[in-house]
Structure 1
Amino acid sequence: MFDLQKEIPAYLMLKSNIVRLILFTAFFALIFINVYAPFGVDVWFHTTRWQLLLYSSVITLTGVLVVVISRIIMYHTRRAKLLRLWQYLIWVLAEVFFMGLFYTLYQKLILHDHRFFPDLLTLSVQNTALVLLLPYSVLWLYFSWEDKKTRLEKIREEGIPAEPVKGMIHFCDERGGLRFSLKSDNLLYIEAADNYVYIHYLDNGKLNRHLLRSNLKRLGEELHGSALVRTHRSYMVNSDKVSLIRRAKEGLRIEMEGLPDLSLPVSPTYTSVVLDVFTQIRS
């Protein structure tokens, strides 16, 4: 069962995958319109197959601009804040509606279709749902398979155990190479440092840190599903090692087990995420 509160998979927001999604959707829409002939084009407007191909190509390329604009906005939104699964699904439904609205307006204003506008809109949204949701679903499955395949290849190349050692966390650099592994019980928090991060951990009860060339966004994507929680643009903490969350004048502060003198900030951007995580842990 899907957890709608989860952040969407990182592979959905890769530029290359966004481009492939747009191109595949345009191709699928072109085939769909010519084979299925939705919107009553072949009946209401008595077009030949060649005319239908020409008209559908223009309509498809123009209509896909809705998806292009939507995905550009989504990409930049995802960079600024977290995008959860339920938000992504609503976003997709909005794409279906607005592309259906575009086709409806095209029929009324360009093709001078005399049918009732609400009826046209309903039909257009239904057909657009098929045009978008089918390729979206297929590509989501393909991107997921491709992501798992890439991770498995990286595991074989870098020597990470095919069966993960229970309780171990593996850290890779920006090129995907394995550089550092430790028990999750020893990990405290990760701190951003320009193009590097400091991994703060306990070693025989003593506080140590390891410098890794990477960034918090990449680590958050690679370690999605672990106990690590992003709390600030400069910090990510091990939720299992948090001893206290308190409210100060400047906002929420986090204190870690065994580090009474350390207090990490929680930025307003991540406040709701942090509270959600720890509410679930305590419930």
Structure 2
Amino acid sequence: MDYIPKIFHRFACQIWHMTVIPAFFFAFLLVYSPSRSYAFLEAGRGLYAFDVTMCMCIILGCISVSRVAFYYIWRKRSLSLITYSAFCVGEVTIMSLFCGLYMWLMLHRSIPYMSAVGTMLGICTTTLIYPYLAISLALYLADSKSKSEEAPKDTLVRFPDSQQRMKLVIASSAILYIEADENYVRIHYLESGVEKEFLLRNSMKKIDELVSRYGLVRCHRSFLINPSHVKMLKKGKEGVLQAELDECPALVPVSKRYYDNLASLL
């Protein structure tokens, strides 16, 4: 299963959606005035620009609420491309419901409400698909560029503590897994074929950002794992998913949320 890049979860990305999408809707409908949109929004009342402006404000309100909710709900979770696409479709549907309600009231309920919603759904879909695709493409390109620029020149991982003091330098291939331990993380790694661990005072979030460039991935809320050391994924007692590692007796828990992403890397 394909997952969207982490850049999609950043708050700056949500700001882009909140500004670009309503602005594009407003500019596109005013400048080009597509015949279907003009006929429905103008409706012989001479208020086309006013109605476009009001619909733009409705879209701005809907997407602002939606994107803030998205940021706080999904910022720490892996999100598949299918789920994210469904979220965007739902976003456009909600905009259409409210814009349809506005036009239904402005037209003094002279047409069925669902007919107004259907027309607005068509207008919003054909108009907003362009900024959605443009933003997504820009984010994918930015993510690719970031990965190429941040690609390590060697395979050594340098682990600083919370005060940015260097505490451990090891080869990325030697790392087995990393687990959270309150205000610390435990780094499990191999040295001359023997498993060792290092207790480092730092947050799991900071370490995740560091080691993701070296191929380690999240497999559980409290664990990061090196897929190259995973021998197999299996169900343990009570159906708990676990990763069995080579040269290591420990079984690392794998949550359902991260299972598909880890399995795709094996």
TM-score, normalised to structure 1, is 0.74
The Cα of 1:108 is off from its aligned counterpart by: 0.9
Q: Pick which of 187-196 and 95-104 moved more.
A: 187-196
Q: Measure the CA separation in 2 of the matches of 1:198 and 1:107.
A: 58
Change (3 A) 1:82 1:103: same
2:138 alignment partner in structure 1? 142
Of the three residues 94, 114, 124, the one matched with 2:110 is 114
Q: Measure the CA separation in 2 of the matches of 1:53 and 1:200.
A: 63
Query: Structure 1 residue 204 and structure 2 residue 203: aligned?
Result: no
Structure 1 unmatched runs, 5+: none
Change (3 A) 1:175 1:59: farther
Query: Structure 1 residue 271 and structure 2 residue 260: aligned?
Result: no
Q: Pick which of 120-129 and 8-17 moved more.
A: 120-129
The Cα of 1:181 is off from its aligned counterpart by: 5.6
Change (3 A) 1:278 1:153: closer
Q: How many residue pairs align between the two structures?
A: 259
Query: Structure 1 residue 40 and structure 2 residue 39: aligned?
Result: yes
Of the three residues 194, 218, 236, the one matched with 1:247 is 236
Q: Measure the CA separation in 1 of the matches of 2:137 and 2:252.
A: 38
What does 1:20-59 align with in structure 2 at a 5 Å threshold?
20-37=16-33, 38=37, 40-41=39-40, 43-47=42-46, 51-59=47-55
Change (3 A) 1:196 1:130: farther
Of the three residues 210, 217, 238, the one matched with 2:226 is 238
Q: Deviations over 1:128-184 (max 9, x none)?
A: 0133221121122223333444455556xxxx42xxx6xx475676999x9856243
Contact 2:179 2:186 in 1 (8 A): yes
- Code of the aligned partner of 1:57: T
Q: Measure the CA separation in 2 of the matches of 1:102 and 1:225.
A: 45
Q: Measure the CA separation in 2 of the matches of 1:130 and 1:93.
A: 12
What does 1:137-176 align with in structure 2 at a 5 Å threshold?
137-151=133-147, 154=150, 160-161=152-153, 168=155, 170=157
Contact 1:216 1:234 in 2 (8 A): no
2:82 alignment partner in structure 1? 86
TM-score, normalised to structure 2, is 0.78
Change (3 A) 1:276 1:61: closer
SS in 1 for 2:75: helix
Q: Measure the CA separation in 2 of the matches of 1:7 and 1:277.
A: 11
Q: Measure the CA separation in 1 of the matches of 2:58 and 2:145.
A: 35
Q: Deviations over 1:70-93 (max 9, x none)?
A: 212222221354321100001111
2:14 alignment partner in structure 1? 18
Q: Measure the CA separation in 2 of the matches of 1:180 and 1:241.
A: 19
Q: Measure the CA separation in 2 of the matches of 1:99 and 1:221.
A: 38
Q: Pick which of 237-246 and 82-91 moved more.
A: 237-246
Of the three residues 204, 217, 223, the one matched with 2:212 is 223
Contact 1:216 1:236 in 2 (8 A): no
Q: Deviations over 1:51-80 (max 9, x none)?
A: 543442232112222212221222222135
CA RMSD of aligned residues (A): 3.6
Contact 1:30 1:56 in 2 (8 A): yes
The Cα of 1:16 is off from its aligned counterpart by: 1.5
Contact 1:25 1:131 in 2 (8 A): no
